[in-house]
Amino acid sequence: MYVAVKGGEKAIRAAHALQEQKRRGDGRLPELSVEQIGDQLSLAVDRVMTEGGIAGPRTGGAGAEAGPAGR
């Protein structure tokens, strides 16, 4: 039983690492800034602000940057 639990934990950690890698994309490219997200994905920022009850677009942009897993 203990082996199954340890194997499960390892698989979960590996899945989280893979999800983060897929979410981030090509690590050679610079990450998006909150300003870029606000300019290029204004509708996504609006949605994050509406769903999260956030008043400021900069905070909404940070929420959009985090993605679904970050909410």
Instruction: Render 43-70 in DSSP notation, one character per residue.
Output: HHHHHHHHHHT---HHHHHHHHHH-GGG
Report the C-alpha gap between 1 and 45 in whole angstroms: 46
Do 58 and 44 meet the contact criterion of CB atoms below 8 Å apart?
A: no
What was the pLDDT predicted at 17? 93
pTM attached to this predicted model: 0.39
The pLDDT tens digits for 15-70 are: 999 998 888 888 888 888 888 888 888 888 888 888 887 777 676 666 666 665 55
Q: Could you say which DSSP state residue 28 is in?
A: T
Residue where the block lists tokens 């983060």: 20
